[in-house]
Amino acid sequence: MKLRICSFLLTLIAAALLNSNAFAQKQKKYIVNAYVGGYRGLVKVDEIDADKLTHINYAFVDVKDSTAFLTNLKTDSTNFRLLNGLKKINPDLKIVISIGGWSWSENFSDAVLTPSSRKLFAKTSVDIVRQYDLDGVDIDWEYPAMRGEEGNVYRPEDKQNFTLMFREICNELDKLEAEKGRKYLLTAAVGGSKSFVNNTEMAEVAKMLDYILIMTYDYGGKTVAHHTNLYPSKGMENSSSAHKSVMDFMQAGVPAHKIGLGAAFYSRSREAESTQNNGINQPQLTGSKAAAGQGGGYTKMKNEIINKNGYKRYWDRHAKAPYLFNPDTKVFISYDDERSIRMKVRYIRKHKLAGIFFWEYFSDPQEYLLNEIDRVMK
């Protein structure tokens, strides 16, 4: 009898723990969205900590002849199956295809140029979601009506066609929702510049999207500066920053609760002309051999580079950002670390944003930054 009672109690405790975990997952207040690069090959899903995520955006689906298509059908289809398997660990995890990206945006402008091409693009995008039992579509067009990678097609009509594209995708997702009886996501990764805002109709677009993920990284210019800073450095008040990007989008009509703030799990290196101010706001040398190949993902940064080999870590209290500087080579390395992640989470809470997202999961395989996000988001 005692054995049966103990077994019964253990069953009750296990059920309570399962229910509490499920409840906690459902009650997550903020999104934690990871971009996972499928272009490298098979995704190492056993190294993904699914419990710490709300969304995975699979990068990337390509665009050609007004069609969304998988560049490596065998690899991509296997990755979709493996990623869906993570829902056994986290049933609320959403797997979303991300279309485009820096290297696959050259054909967007043509794909959405006419009503018929938009319809085909939208249908083939949603067909991938349908076929592989995924959870939605993310558009990462870099960039509408402005230059992106060399060779990208862009035209003034992109501004209106960007909006019309989402409208068509919405129509296709509505059909899928009617078929399956469940909700599907539509999101966008957007450039963090004011030019992106000026070349789109974000107030209209925002009405159709669940989240707008502002790429608050890869900032840069002719002078040395941070690439994923929360605020500008002293003396650079008009330069790019996450805060400026968020304010630009909100002023354009994007609600705060739909905005995801970007974090960089990788670094950017630049060579300054002088050592003054540790390189910050100094002219940068283009095509620098000294800066090439320096830095890397955050795991490598933390384990092998920070405060080693001539690189000293500094904290920019105005920008709320760390950086490394080597006075011998004049190489400046910008990145996110645990402290800047805490600052970004505090900012998300203060401004009531949707949450955080990051590029790219496997840039920090030891999960230093994801662990910090998980710790401070709770």
Residues that are catalytic = 142
Nearest to 133 by CA among 84, 63, 73, 69: 84
Alpha helices in the chain (DSSP H): 2-26, 73-84, 108-111, 115-131, 158-180, 194-198, 202-208, 242-251, 298-300, 338-351, 368-377
For residues 243 and 351, what is the distance between their CA atoms, to the nearest angstrom?
Answer: 10
Pairing label, strands 94-100, 67-69: unpaired
The answer to whether 83 and 58 have CB atoms below 8 angstroms apart is: yes
For residues 234 and 319, what is the distance between their CA atoms, to the nearest angstrom?
Answer: 8
Return the axis-axis angle of helices 368-377 and 338-351, rounded to nearest 10°.
30
For residues 325 and 272, what is the distance between their CA atoms, to the nearest angstrom?
Answer: 10
The answer to whether 278 and 375 have CB atoms below 8 angstroms apart is: no
CB within 8 A of 279, min separation 6: which ones? Answer: 224, 270, 272, 325, 330, 331, 332
Contacts 24+ apart (CB under 8 A), 17-23: 22/91
Tokens at 4, concatenated: 């049966």
Dihedral, CA of residue 340, residue 343, residue 345 and residue 348, to nearest 10: -130
